[in-house]
């Protein structure tokens, strides 16, 4: 039963630590990517359709000025940058320099646009809705349509991991309680003798606490080793070198996760022991 307790605690604490590290990574990546997100407001050309465009007409200078003034007046907007067709074409040539499609476009095929940075990137819906309603705007593009589903699934994975770890932690607590209860029952005669000679509750309880603490500390050690190995092989050796577009959690975050599972592991060892032995400590 002690081995079962150690294995259950090691697995549950490993999952808890993995969930905590996933939460830290999701928050870090979300903050970094959202802070880089810009809203692109594309203006009409003679060849574009849809949006608030007039057929066969591009956005006039007056409409462009009105769009810029409206965007700059929005309190959620921190910066508005105008990008001409020529600048857009230069960027297109740079991005597709090694691709055959580089010769398929000219500067006239590009669209003027405004690049909009937000005060709080998560409050983008109002700015997008306002921009879509402006005359001379053909389309509004933002990366939230891509990022939001991704972070939604990552958050679901995080909560699934935490839920599984919580269930296993509950199983570990029940196993510890049963183990200590059986140990106390088999030693009930010795406990009765100690009470008759005036032994204190702490003196009687200490062996049981030490037994559960040793099992808990071994489980914490195994879980910490598993988290460290997982961090090294998954993040340091692979993710950080292959995916450089997002920041990754560091050794300090790993230490935080280990401290969390250590605190939970100690509490998991102590609390069930106190509950399981209270019957044998009554006068």
Kindly indicate the confidence band of residue 101, based on its pLDDT and cuts at 50, 70 and 90: low
Residue ranges, CATH 3.30.70.3040, the chain = 38-142
More confident residue, 244 or 139: 139
pLDDT (0 to 100) of residue 78: 86
Kindly indicate the confidence band of residue 23, based on its pLDDT and cuts at 50, 70 and 90: confident
pLDDT for 282 beyond 60: no
CATH number of 38-142: 3.30.70.3040
pLDDT for 283 beyond 50: no
The structure's pTM equals 0.63
Half-sphere exposure at residue 232, Cβ-oriented, CA atoms within 13 angstroms: 6
pLDDT for 21 beyond 70: yes
Q: What is the DSSP string of the chain?
A: -HHHHHHHHHHHHHHHHHHHHHHHHHHHHHHHHHHH--EEEEEP-TT--STTPPTT----HHHHHHHHHHHHH-TTEEEEEEE-HHHHHHHHHHHTTTSGGGGS--GGGS--EEEEEESSTT--HHHHHHHHTSTTEEEEE-THHHHHHHHHHHHHHHHHHHHHHHHHHHHHHHHHHHHHHHHHHHTHHHHHHHHHTT--HHHHHHHHHHHHHHHHHHHHHHHHHHHHHHIIIIIIIIIHHH--SS----HHHHHHHHHHHHHHHHHHHHHHHHHHHGGGG--
* Tokens standing for residue 84: 């001409």
206-254 residue pLDDT tens: 777 788 888 889 989 999 999 999 999 988 888 888 877 678 888 898 9
Q: What is the spatial distance between Cα 204 and Cα 191, in angstroms, rounded to a whole number?
A: 7
Kindly indicate the confidence band of residue 281, based on its pLDDT and cuts at 50, 70 and 90: low
Q: What is the spatial distance between Cα 168 and Cα 162, in angstroms, rounded to a whole number?
A: 10
Q: What is the mean pLDDT of residues 249-260?
A: 90
Q: Give the highest mean pLDDT range of 24-28, 231-235, 276-280.
A: 231-235
pLDDT for 141 beyond 70: yes
160-204 residue pLDDT tens: 777 877 777 777 777 777 777 777 677 767 767 776 777 676 777
* Tokens standing for residue 96: 């597709």
């Amino acid at each position: 039963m002690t081995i079962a307790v150690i294995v259950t605690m090691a697995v549950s604490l490993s999952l808890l630590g993995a969930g905590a590290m996933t939460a830290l990574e999701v928050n870090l990546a979300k903050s970094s990517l959202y802070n880089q997100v810009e809203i692109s407001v594309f203006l009409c050309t003679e060849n574009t359709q849809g949006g608030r465009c007039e057929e066969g007409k591009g956005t006039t200078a007056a409409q462009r000025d009105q769009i810029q003034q409206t965007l700059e007046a929005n309190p959620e907007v921190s910066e508005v940058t105008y990008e001409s067709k020529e600048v857009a074409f230069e960027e297109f040539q740079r991005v597709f320099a090694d691709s055959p499609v580089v010769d398929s476009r000219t500067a006239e095929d590009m669209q003027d646009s405004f690049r909009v940075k937000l005060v709080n990137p998560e409050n983008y819906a109002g700015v997008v809705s306002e921009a879509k309603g402006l005359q001379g705007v053909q389309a509004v593009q933002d990366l939230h349509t891509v990022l939001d589903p991704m972070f939604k699934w990552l958050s679901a994975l995080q909560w699934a991991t935490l839920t599984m770890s919580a269930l296993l932690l509950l199983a570990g607590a029940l196993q510890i309680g049963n183990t200590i209860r059986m140990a106390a029952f088999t030693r009930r005669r010795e406990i009765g003798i100690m009470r008759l000679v005036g032994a204190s509750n702490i003196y009687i309880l200490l062996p049981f606490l030490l037994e559960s603490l040793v099992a808990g500390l071994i489980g914490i050690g195994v879980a910490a080793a598993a988290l460290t190995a997982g961090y090294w092989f998954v993040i340091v050796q692979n993710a950080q070198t292959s995916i450089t577009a997002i920041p990754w959690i560091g050794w300090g975050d790993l230490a935080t996760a280990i401290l969390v599972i250590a605190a939970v592991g100690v509490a998991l060892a102590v609390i069930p022991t106190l509950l399981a032995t209270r019957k044998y400590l009554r006068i």
